[in-house]
Amino acid sequence: MFERFADSARSVVVAAQQEAIRVHDPRIEASHLLIGVAVAAEEPLRVLLAEEGLTVDGLRSDRAARTADSPLGDEDAAALEAIGIDLDEVRSRLEAAFGKGVLDGKGTDRRAGANRLGHIPFDRAAKKSLELALREAIARRERVIRPEHILLGLLRSDDPATVALVEAHVPRAQLRQRLNGHLDAAA
Amino acid sequence: MSEATTLAAAAASSDPAVGLRAVRALRRLLERLEEVQVANARERGWSWQAIADELGVSRQAVHQKHNRKRR
């Protein structure tokens, strides 16, 4: 299905895969694609996304905060310190008993499935989003799929994690409208 | 503890944003801790029932949450 993808859209998929690897997820999820769009977006789209509050760093930290088993970061450490828990101390005691990185890694079993260098599979919502991206392009009578279409597909997909990440900043309908306007202008 | 950090801590304790953030961080820490401890218990041959008893939850709950084979 990638024949009709523009280079920039392929970059989105590659960035999504790298994102999944980065956070040690066994599959490429729709929310990784969303981050992939932000990573791979070139100038006009990047500005549009930033104006709507969708930045790579912001999406990453929002996503991490919503994912219960992402590594605990500095913000968590600070929050825990405020109630008298020293995360570094907890970490060092656990590492003494269970080995280094025990608090940051996920279950090793879960990770073993994804071969780290080759490609990781898309999950169902991600696959559906890419199909919807294709449909968005067809509906707009555009032959090539661009990152904007992928984002439109993601907005249509109703994947709860992705919708939450977007709607924390901008209503879906509004973003959709801006993207369509943006594509109209580019056409 | 310096005066500044004491003040900061005192101010933090009544700020809902800080307090709620602490709850969220604690929840995440709890999840990680549970994962580590359950995995360790399984590696040492503990049954799901024995783990559930120690955690004070039902066997089904702990099995459903931690059994990796379901994925």
The boundaries of the domain holding residue B13 are 3-70
State residue A177's pLDDT score. 95
Tokens representing A39 are 């990573």
Mutate to test the interface with B, among A70, A76, A108 (most CBs of B within 10 A): A76
Q: How high is the pLDDT of residue A174?
A: 96
The answer to whether residue A97 scores a pLDDT higher than 60 is: yes
- Domain spans of chain A, in order of start: 2-69+120-186
Q: Which of residues 9-48 of B touch A (CB under 8 A)?
A: 9, 12-13, 18-19, 21-22, 24-29, 31-33, 35-36, 39-40
What is the number of structural domains in chain B? 1
Measured in degrees and rounded to the nearest 5, phi and psi for residue A84 equal 85, 15
Query: Nearest by CB to B21, which of A72, A79, A110?
Result: A79
Mean pLDDT of chain A: 87
- Give me the interface pTM, i.e. the ipTM: 0.75
Per-residue pLDDT of A112-150, as tens digits, reads 344 445 678 999 999 999 999 999 999 999 999 999 999
Query: Is A26 in contact with B22 (Cβ distance < 8 A)?
Result: no
Say what the pLDDT of residue A1 is.
Answer: 72
DSSP letter string over chain A? -GGGB-HHHHHHHHHHHHHHHHTT-SSB-HHHHHHHHHHH--HHHHHHHHHTT--HHHHHHHHHHHSTTSPP-HHHHHHHHHTT--HHHHHHHHHHHH-TTTTTS--HHHHHTS-SSSPPPB-HHHHHHHHHHHHHHHHTT-SSB-HHHHHHHHHHTT-HHHHHHHHTTS-HHHHHHHHHHHHHHH-
**CB A75 to CB B25 under 8 A?**
yes
User: Quick one: CA torsion of B55, B56, B60, B64, rounded to 10 degrees?
Assistant: -30
The reply to whether residue A69 touches residue B35, judged by beta carbons under 8 angstroms, is: yes
* Nearest CB partner across the interface for A79, out of B18, B68, B71: B18
Contact of B50 with chain A, judged by CB distance below 8 Å, is answered with: no
A79, B68: Cβ pair inside 8 Å?
no
The alpha-carbon gap from A69 to the nearest alpha carbon of chain B, in Å, equals 6
- pTM to 2 decimal places: 0.61
- Segment A63-79, tens digit of pLDDT: 987 775 556 878 888 88
The span from the CA of A46 to the CA of A56, in Å, is 10
Nearest CA in chain B to A26: B71
State phi, psi for A65 to the nearest 5 degrees. -65, -30
Residues of A in contact with B12 (CB under 8 A): 82
Region B2-15 average pLDDT:
59
| Residue A59 confidence (pLDDT) | 95
The percentage of residues in chain A with a pLDDT greater than 90, rounded to a whole number, is 61
Q: Collapse the DSSP code of B2 into the 3-class scheme (helix H, G, I; strand E, B; otherwise coil) and give the result.
A: coil
Check A87 against B27: CB less than 8 A apart. no
- Cβ of A85 within 8 Å of Cβ of B33? The answer is no
CA distance A147 to A135: 13
d(CA A151, CA A182): 12
Considering the segment(s) A2-69+120-186 as one domain, its CATH architecture is Orthogonal Bundle (1.10)
User: pLDDT, tens digit, for every residue of A107-122?
Assistant: 443 443 444 456 789 9
Q: What is the 3-state secondary structure (H, E, C) of A41-79?
A: CCHHHHHHHHHCCCCHHHHHHHHHHHCCCCCCCHHHHHH
Q: Residue B29: its chain A contacts at CB < 8 A?
A: 72, 76, 80, 85, 87, 90, 103
Residues with Cβ within 8 Å of residue A134, at least 6 apart in sequence: A1, A4, A145, A149, A153
